[in-house]
Structures are given as C-alpha cells and as structure tokens.
C-alpha cells in the first residue's frame, strides 16, 4: 500500500506542452507513471509523444477527466494562471492536484483554499517537488511520480517521508536508499505561506497506512505547522518518527529560501520547532546528513 497515489493512479499534466511540463511528463512516463492525458488550452486534439507513448492533449481538465478517467494532476502552469488551473482541477472532481509552480501570489492561494473548502480534492503544493510512491524492482520503476522529484533515487519499502524542502526530501530518500531501506510514499508539501496539505495531513495518512512502518518529517523556520504536527504525533502516532528542522542560524525577519520560511514576531524559530519535536518524542537529527540514521536507530 501507499498514501495518496499508487502505480494505478491515472495522471494528467496541466501544461504538458510547455518545456518544463513536457520534460517532467517524459520523466514520469519513463518511471512508469500512468500519464493518461495532458491539458493545454487551445491545443486540444494534439498528441504528446514520447518513447512509444501517445498521450492525448485536451483543452480543459473536465474533458480530460471525462475521456481518460484521470484522478490526479500535476500543474506546470505559469504563476499568473496557476490558481485558475488548480481550481479547474477542483471543479472537475480530481482527487489530488500537485502544484509545482513557484511564485503563485498569496492572494491567489487564499482564494484557492477558500474555494476548496468542503471539496473532495487534496492539494499538494504549490512550490513543491511533488509526490513519489516507488514501484517494484531495484530502480523502483512502475510506481507513481507526480512532479519533479528524481525517481531513480527511490526504492520501494516502508518509510514515509514528508518535507517542506524539496532538496532535503531528496537527501532523506537517498540516505534511506543507500542504506537499503525503501520508502512507502514521499511527499514534498512545499514551503509557501499558504500551502495545500500540511505536515499533519500527511502524518495522519502515514499513521493509518499499514505499509508505513516509520516516518521522517522535515520542517523549516516559519509558521507553526511543525508544532501542530508534533502535538498530534505525541497524542496519536503509533509509529517511530524522526525529524529535522532547517534554518537554525537564520536571522529573524529575513526570508530564507521559501516564501514561508521567515521568523516573524519571535515565532516560527528553529529552536521552538526542535523543542516541540523533542517534547513529542520525535528523534531529532542534529544535521541533514543524519536524518536516515536517526530514524533507523529508533526503528531498531
């Protein structure tokens, strides 16, 4: 099992004819992801062809869903139009939308969040690397890769990874794989101030997934999402959890990397998040290079 996506998930790519969307559509097809449709307004009727795959392109998400049965999408749409692309997927009843786009205006994301209230659709991102559920075999192909994460570093197994940082997601995954430890699902939730799924949303799914035996949670300065997840883990999580918080040396008031990574009003510091993790019984890795080993120590 896995969370959110499986090898059977039918994926459409919004922005498949753009250079960035096209490149990652190709990589997902090579990985074995079931990419069944693309969407680019005005280019309906075309085919996206790659290594023997012929993916039909539609003008709208609704048409793509009706014709192909797609249940998830990846959004590779410029920031000015990305919010409307997300909402188009919500209106079409998609189960999952993965918004890769960086720089979506905060007001646009507030509008998206309000429009999604009470709807069935889950949103990962924006400004995220996406999600990978590895497949079988030594190269994990045949799984589901939605987004920009390097599929080849993954290995099928029993550790769930959730992170605000894309590069630290890859680092944790690669450390696990190098130690012969596979992953159930890896979710990069993104670092924007108004995200879709939070750490807590993903942790709850991992906690209920029988194929996830341990969890790595990676956070960073800014906001209170990590503290909220830690409080829930302390009371409810039945599995070993290791964590890492990035930004311990960041000065207050200065944004570091992600738009949401800023210490404001004395809140959102790395020290506060690390303290919350320890209070919750989460094993804290002192450096990024020790994330996998920290989890494996407590799993043993």
The domain defined by 10-124 folds into: Rossmann fold (3.40.50)
Distance CA(58)–CA(42), nearest Å, equals: 8
Residue 184: is its pLDDT beyond 70? Answer: yes
Q: What is the pLDDT of residue 257?
A: 57
The pLDDT value given to residue 263:
47
E strand or H helix at 185: strand 183-188
Average pLDDT over residues 282-288: 97
Q: What length does the chain have? A: 300
Q: How many helices (H) and strands (E) does the chain have?
A: 9, 14
pTM: 0.93
pLDDT tens digit sequence for 237-279: 999 999 999 877 556 555 555 554 444 444 578 888 999 999 9
With CA atoms as reference, report the closest residue to 258 among 216, 222, 217: 222
Could you tell me what percent of the chain has a pLDDT over 70? 92
- Which ranges in 153-241 belong to alpha helices (H)? 166-178, 199-208, 225-236
**Per-residue pLDDT tens digits for 48-97:** 999 999 999 999 999 999 999 999 999 999 999 999 999 999 999 999 99
Asked if 89 and 120 count as a contact pair (C-beta separation under 8 A), the reply is no
By three-state DSSP, how is residue 296 classified? helix
Q: Which residues contact 124 (CB under 8 A, 6 or more apart)?
A: 4, 96, 97, 98, 99, 130, 131, 147, 187, 188, 189, 190, 196, 197
Confidence of residue 221 (pLDDT cuts 50, 70, 90): confident
Q: What is the pLDDT of residue 246?
A: 87
CB 72 within 8 Å of CB 96: yes
Determine the Cα–Cα distance for residues 180 and 200; give it in Å rounded to an integer.
27
**Domain spans of the chain, in order of start:** 10-124, 155-299
Are the C-beta atoms of residues 3 and 185 closer than 8 Å to each other? yes
One fold for both 10-124 and 155-299?
yes
* Mean pLDDT value across residues 220-240: 93
Q: How many percent of the chain have pLDDT more than 90? A: 85
- For the cut 70, the answer to whether the pLDDT of residue 293 exceeds it is yes
What is the tens place of the pLDDT at every residue in 109-146? 999 999 999 999 999 999 999 999 999 866 677 899 99
For domain 155-299, give its CATH number from 3.40.50.261, 3.10.20.30, 2.60.120.10, 3.40.50.300. Answer: 3.40.50.261
DSSP 266: T
Token output for 149 = 């994460």
Range 32-60 average pLDDT: 97
Average confidence (pLDDT) over 166-175: 96
Residue 274 sits at φ, ψ, to 5 deg, of -65, -40
Residues belonging to the active site: 258
């Amino acid at each position: 099992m896995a969370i959110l996506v499986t090898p059977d998930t039918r994926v459409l790519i919004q922005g498949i004819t753009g250079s960035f969307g096209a490149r990652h559509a190709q990589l997902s097809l090579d990985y074995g992801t079931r990419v069944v449709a693309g969407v680019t307004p005005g280019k309906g009727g075309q085919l996206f062809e790659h290594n023997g795959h012929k993916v039909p392109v539609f003008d709208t998400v609704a048409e793509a869903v009706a014709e192909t049965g797609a249940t998830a999408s990846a959004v590779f749409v410029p920031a000015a139009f990305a919010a409307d692309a997300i909402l188009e997927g919500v209106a079409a009843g998609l189960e999952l939308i993965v918004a890769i786009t960086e720089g979506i205006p905060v007001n646009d994301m507030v509008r998206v969040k309000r429009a999604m209230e009470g709807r069935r659709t889950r949103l990962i991102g924006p400004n995220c690397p996406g999600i990978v559920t590895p497949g079988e075999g030594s190269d994990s192909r045949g799984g589901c890769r939605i987004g920009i994460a390097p599929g080849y570093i993954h290995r099928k197994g029993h550790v769930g990874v959730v992170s605000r940082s894309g590069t630290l997601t890859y680092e944790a995954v690669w450390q696990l794989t190098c130690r012969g430890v596979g992953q159930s699902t890896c979710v990069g939730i993104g670092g924007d101030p108004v995200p879709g799924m939070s750490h807590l949303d993903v942790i709850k799914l991992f906690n209920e997934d029988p194929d996830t035996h341990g969890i790595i949670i990676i956070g960073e300065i800014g906001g209170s999402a990590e503290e909220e997840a830690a409080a829930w883990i302390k009371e409810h999580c039945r599995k070993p959890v290791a964590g890492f918080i990035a930004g311990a040396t960041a000065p207050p008031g200065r944004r570091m990397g992600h738009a949401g990574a800023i210490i404001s009003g004395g809140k959102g510091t790395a020290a506060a998040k690390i303290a919350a993790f320890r209070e919750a019984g989460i094993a804290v890795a002192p450096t990024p290079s020790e994330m996998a080993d920290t989890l494996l120590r407590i799993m043993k």
